[in-house]
């Protein structure tokens, strides 16, 4: 047992009483965090603390809650470099990228304030007698589950709107990024968030299961794999009264058609497929290139540029485009996925290679046009599958051959093609001549099919953080000027 007080329950940091676990820098396996997990009893204590804090927090005015949340933004700004380094160390992502993640966390506060007012503000309308008022109320105690790939930004995208709406929170971060979670919660404490309003339970799946199954939560906001999301969806079947927001994976297509600037197209393909070492839910997984000369040219340029991608440590003076993946296991999983595709008939055009014992991989490109039953699986890493096509509509239909529906893109100079693509492609994020990664926080962010449960996050996160209350109101009990037929009050 370690004495590391890694659990935040009712404003107190306490040591977990469960199994020990640790977090390592995936580039060099240095242990950067170690503690004991929260037990089910400790999870229960966190839920109770959140419940006890709920009325005082939700009774505060929105303005008073917003003041504390804005102080959190200030603390984030003051500590942004510390946070960026922590994210880089724990995920392997390069500093240039984790600095943008820390910045996105700061930007989330102003966007969430605007979204709260526009999506769940108070609307009053006059009536012949009295007034009609629409308000929104917090659900109560909510659990937030975070993924490892954006350990600061994506949980933040649930926590900030949840708190602004008046909910209290129990946060269960990925067991792969506990250090970032601990830092973030310490920033919330520095901002003056009252005890119990946000609680942190660190642990592996057992801790997650204890929280997800706790009867005392009113909702669960999840970002993570479709596998886990589907387990949670099944778990919540029969509990329609609990709000469940699932932000899950993707198997995202990118189609190229009639581009004049092939170099620019290659840039957008690389930004879509290999940023964050392919560890973004929105990363392009399937690239559809036209058969013939243009497709050949783009593929040739893409292979050349991909081979030139710099892979390195998060803090290299000459910053890499790709850092390490989250873990040696994740990297090995990408090699296995590549092997499976080759066994199915794929042709490796650039082999994804793995520096065994670390999270480092080089990006891979694999020709998959002739694979008969192409597996509809999210390979969460830098492996881009190529499909050659002759008919644009057929390419769109093949791109739609997935249970997912998160992001999709067209690189092409004809607006009519984009109009057709936009009308037919099934995805929640659809881009034209821009990378399909790097979505705006000022827009809804969510997918269809296996990518979500129709509770888009980012700008629409406010929608699942509160429920509407419609009222008709009159200052005093007043007799109407005329009674309904058949009534006598004398
Ligand atoms: N749609 C989005 O906004 C979005 C954003 C980022 C990542 N993702 C997806 O997330 C995945 C990568 O993240 P990950 O590997 O951390 O996801 P994951 O599903 O493994 O874990 C997510 C969270 O759920 C917890 N968890 C895992 N199994 C659980 C269980 N059985 N019961 C309760 N809790 C459980 C984990 O501890 C973690 O906190 C990818 O599939 C990616 O596409 C989606
Ligand atoms: O890894 C998944 C997506 C990461 C990122 N998306 C967002 O940041 C959505 C906006 C938000 O949630 O504020 C991307 O598209 O790269």
CA distance 77 to 82: 10
Per-residue confidence (pLDDT) for residue 387, from 0 to 100: 98
Identify whether the C-beta of residue 379 lies closer than 8 Å to the C-beta of residue 280.
no
- Measured CA angle at 292 (ends 287, 294), to 5 deg: 70
Identify whether the C-beta of residue 398 lies closer than 8 Å to the C-beta of residue 288.
yes
Query: Can you tell me the ipTM of this complex?
Result: 0.99
Q: Could you say which ligand is closest to the alpha carbon of residue 224?
A: 1
Q: Residue with the nearest Cα to atom 1 of ligand 2?
A: 280
Sign of CA dihedral 24, 101, 223, 108: positive
CA distance 95 to 87: 8
Q: How far is CA 203 from CA 18, 34, 106, 193, in A?
A: 8, 11, 26, 23
- pTM metric for this prediction: 0.98
Residues in the chain: 490
Residues within 6 Å of ligand 1 by CB: 145-150, 154, 172-175, 205, 208-209, 212, 223-225, 228, 231, 247-250, 281, 378, 380, 406
DSSP 311: B
Number of Cβ within 10 Å of residue 76's Cβ equals 24
Identify whether the C-beta of residue 242 lies closer than 8 Å to the C-beta of residue 219.
yes
Enter the tokens of residue 445: 């962010």
Identify whether the C-beta of residue 90 lies closer than 8 Å to the C-beta of residue 33.
yes
DSSP 274: T
Residue 226, marked binder: yes
From the CA of 429, give the closest atom in ligand 2: 15
Identify whether the C-beta of residue 116 lies closer than 8 Å to the C-beta of residue 135.
no
402 CB burial (10 A radius; 0-12, 13-18, 19+): buried
Per-residue confidence (pLDDT) for residue 192, from 0 to 100: 98
Q: Mean pLDDT in each 10-residue stretch from start to end of the chain (490 residues)?
A: 88 98 98 98 98 98 98 98 98 98 98 98 95 98 98 98 99 98 98 98 98 98 98 97 98 98 98 98 98 98 98 98 98 98 98 98 98 96 98 98 98 98 98 98 98 98 98 97 96
Residue 359, marked binder: no
Residue carrying the six token digits 């990363």: 283
465 is catalytic: no
Identify whether the C-beta of residue 386 lies closer than 8 Å to the C-beta of residue 358.
no
Per-residue confidence (pLDDT) for residue 2, from 0 to 100: 60
From the CA of 154, give the closest atom in ligand 2: 12
Enter the tokens of residue 462: 């406010």
Q: Work out the angle between the directed axes of helices 293-307 and 262-273 (0-180°, nearest 10).
A: 50
């Amino acid at each position: 047992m370690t004495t590391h007080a890694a659990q935040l329950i009712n404003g107190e940091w306490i040591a977990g009483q469960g199994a020990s676990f640790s977090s390592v820098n995936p580039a060099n396996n240095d242990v950067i965090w170690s503690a004991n997990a929260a037990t089910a009893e400790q999870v229960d204590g966190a839920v109770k603390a959140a419940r006890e804090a709920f009325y005082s927090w939700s009774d505060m005015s929105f303005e008073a809650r917003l003041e504390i949340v804005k102080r959190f933004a200030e603390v984030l700004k003051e500590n942004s470099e510390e946070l960026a380094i922590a994210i880089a160390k724990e995920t392997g992502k390069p500093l240039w990228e984790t600095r943008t993640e820390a910045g996105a966390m700061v930007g989330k506060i102003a966007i969430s304030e605007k979204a709260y007012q526009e999506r769940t503000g108070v609307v009053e309308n006059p009536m012949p007698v009295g007034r009609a008022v629409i308000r929104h109320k917090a659900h109560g105690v909510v659990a937030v589950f975070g993924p490892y790939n954006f350990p600061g930004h994506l949980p933040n995208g649930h926590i900030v709107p949840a708190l602004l709406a008046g909910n209290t929170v129990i946060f269960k971060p990925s067991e792969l990024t506990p250090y970032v979670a601990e830092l973030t919660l310490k920033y919330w404490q520095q901002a003056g968030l009252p005890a119990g309003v946000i609680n942190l339970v660190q642990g592996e799946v057992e801790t997650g299961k204890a929280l997800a199954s706790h009867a005392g939560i009113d909702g669960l906001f999840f970002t993570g794999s479709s596998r886990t999301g589907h387990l949670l969806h099944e778990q919540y079947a029969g509990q329609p009264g609990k709000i469940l927001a699932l932000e899950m994976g993707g198997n995202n297509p990118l189609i190229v058609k009639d581009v004049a600037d092939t170099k620019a197209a290659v840039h957008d393909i690389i930004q879509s497929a290999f940023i964050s070492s392919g560890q973004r839910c929105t990363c392009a997984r399937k690239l559809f290139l036209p058969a013939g000369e243009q497709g050949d040219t783009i593929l040739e340029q893409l292979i050349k540029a991909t081979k030139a991608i710099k892979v390195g440590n998060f803090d290299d003076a000459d910053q890499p485009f790709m850092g390490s993946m989250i873990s040696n296991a994740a990297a090995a999983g990408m090699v296995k996925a590549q092997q499976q595709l080759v066994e199915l008939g794929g042709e490796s055009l650039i082999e994804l290679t793995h520096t065994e014992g670390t999270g480092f991989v080089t990006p891979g490109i694999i020709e998959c046009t002739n694979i008969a039953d192409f597996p509809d699986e999210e390979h969460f890493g830098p492996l881009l599958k190529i499909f050659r096509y002759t008919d644009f509509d057929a390419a769109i239909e093949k791109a739609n051959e997935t249970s997912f529906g998160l992001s999709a893109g067209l690189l092409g100079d004809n607006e009519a093609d984009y109009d057709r693509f936009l009308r037919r492609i099934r995805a929640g994020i659809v881009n034209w001549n821009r990378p399909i990664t790097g979505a705006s926080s000022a827009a809804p962010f969510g997918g269809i099919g296996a990518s979500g449960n129709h509770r888009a996050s980012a700008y629409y996160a406010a929608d699942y953080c509160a429920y509407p209350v419609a009222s008709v109101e009159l200052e005093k009990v007043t007799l109407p000027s005329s009674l309904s037929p058949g009534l006598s009050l004398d």
